[in-house]
Structure 1
Amino acid sequence: MKPARIVAVVHSDTDVPGSLPELFAEQGVELEVRSITRPLIAPEMLDGLVIMGSPESAYDSRLPWLDAELEWLKEVQCRGVPSWGICFGSQLLARALGGSVHRNAHVEIGWTPLTTLQNDWQHVGPWLNFHFDAFTLPPDATLLAKTNLALQVFRQGKSIGMQFHPEIDPAMFDTWTRYWRSTQEGRRFLETAGDLPERMRAEIQDRQPANRENCRHLVKDFLNQI
């Protein structure tokens, strides 16, 4: 039976979960969005979890909340809570399950189709990738998809990690550009990005109907495994 509520953890008070709240609501499930700045919910109180993205690195021990979130996520996995990690969230989930995260040899930015590796997972996209880091496959996980630049999707039990951003919409992308303008690291990125942010937003807008439909199927799959 589908749960009435699933918790989505965002990694900043200004982060938003894109199209996910409406897509979960279509399936009769409330997506409760909680910032990492609030106390983490006891694992035994969770029926399902979504771990959202972040501009930070999932191996940066300087982050004041990272170690606590990782230990909490390990306990969540030990309890078998169905979990969906997105981008940074997939990397943290990989770490919680025994994998690792590293700076990738190549930046992966743009809409990319996936090479799928299992017959029961055929969500080829294209999906929006925007990442500098990558995960290694946890020892007991199954690799479901990849691109030429990085592993993309893995599954272990009722948990799944996806390196790309299926939930992206223009409003969510606007939070990214505000972050870039307001941080030193973001401004460094913008200095070399040229018109990339403007082109990315326009393409997100153009692709929104198809991407939303693709994401709808991912939400249904996640709920079906619960």
Structure 2
Amino acid sequence: MKPARAVAIIHSDTDVAGSLPDLFAELGIPLEVTPVSAGLPDPEGLELAVVMGSPESAYDHRLPWLAPELAWLQAVQARGVPTLGICFGSQLLARSLGGQVYRNSAPEIGWTPLETPDGWAHKGPWLNFHFDAFTPPPGATLLGKTELAAQAYRMGRSMGVQFHPEIDARMFDTWTAYWRETEEGRKFLASAGDLPERMRMEIEAREPDNRANCRELLRDFLNHI
């Protein structure tokens, strides 16, 4: 049975969910976007969860909200609630299911096609922007990978994707705002040259195709729950 509603957890009050609200609506499922600061929904009443990205690390327990969110996600998984984790969300989901998250050997930034050892149909290319990586949880099916990192896995009714299928220009603008407003972000901008401008132009150019790819990815996720 198709879930009647879904909840997406964002990790900053200024974050957005990209194309997901529109695409979930097209698929007949209202998506409520909730910042972690507003409190996490009761797992018992949850029909479908989406855990979004963050510039933070999924192993940085100096973050006051990280341990409670990890415990919540473990409870969500224990109840068998279908969950889609994106980027940071895929890493935290992996941790909740027994996988590991670590600093990767190199950042992965840009549009990358996937190797799909299990024959998964969603090869992209997808936008990657991450410095950390995960090991898929024990017993999970690895759906996609690149030379630098595991990219997608499925375990039960949950799926994690390291890339950003939901990216659009408005969402990318929240990233650049974060980079301008934080010390860490300003350090990145100081060394990035014209990368942010080029990335935004490419996101805009790829938006129709990426939106179509994301729609099919969501259909695949829903078909497996």
Is the shorter-chain TM-score for this pair beyond 0.5, marking a shared fold?
yes
Q: Deviations over 1:145-177 (max 9, x none)?
A: 100000000110000000000000000000000
- The answer on 1:65 being equivalent to 2:65 is yes
- The answer on 1:225 being equivalent to 2:224 is yes
- The answer on 1:180 being equivalent to 2:179 is yes
Instruction: Tell me which residue corresponds to 2:77.
Output: 77
Cα distance in 2 for partners of 1:63, 1:203 equals: 32
| Counterparts of residues 4-83 of structure 1 (less than 5 Å) | 4-83=4-83
Cα distance in 2 for partners of 1:84, 1:187 equals: 30
Query: Identity of aligned pairs, percent?
Result: 68
TM-score normalised over the length of structure 2: 0.99
Instruction: Tell me which residue corresponds to 1:160.
Output: 159
Q: CA deviation at 1:137?
A: 1.6
- The answer on 1:191 being equivalent to 2:186 is no
Q: Please provide the CA RMSD for this pair.
A: 0.6
Aligned length: 225
Instruction: Tell me which residue corresponds to 1:209.
Output: 208
Q: For structure 1, which segment, 133-142 or 179-188, has the greater mean C-alpha deviation from structure 2 after superposition?
A: 133-142
Q: Deviations over 1:90-137 (max 9, x none)?
A: 000000000111000011000000000113x21000000000000012
Give 2:212's aligned amino acid. E
Aligned residue for 1:62, secondary structure, equals coil
Cα distance in 1 for partners of 2:7, 2:84 equals: 10
Q: Deviations over 1:38-58 (max 9, x none)?
A: 111111111100000000000
Q: Deviations over 1:64-94 (max 9, x none)?
A: 1000000010010011000000000000000
Cα distance in 2 for partners of 1:65, 1:223 equals: 28
TM-score normalised over the length of structure 1: 0.98
Cα distance in 2 for partners of 1:225, 1:155 equals: 9
Cα distance in 1 for partners of 2:191, 2:83 equals: 36
Cα distance in 2 for partners of 1:142, 1:28 equals: 28
Instruction: Tell me which residue corresponds to 1:126.
Output: 125
Q: CA deviation at 1:142?
A: 1.1
Q: CA deviation at 1:223?
A: 1.7
Instruction: Tell me which residue corresponds to 1:97.
Output: 97
Instruction: Tell me which residue corresponds to 2:88.
Output: 88
Give 2:28's aligned amino acid. G
Aligned residue for 2:37, secondary structure, equals coil
Runs of at least 5 residues in structure 1 that lack an aligned partner in the other structure: none
Runs of at least 5 residues in structure 2 that lack an aligned partner in the other structure: none
Q: Deviations over 1:170-209 (max 9, x none)?
A: 0000000000000000000000000000000000000001
Cα distance in 2 for partners of 1:139, 1:219 equals: 24
Aligned residue for 1:207, secondary structure, equals helix
* Runs of 4+ deviating beyond 2 Å: none
Q: CA deviation at 1:219?
A: 1.2
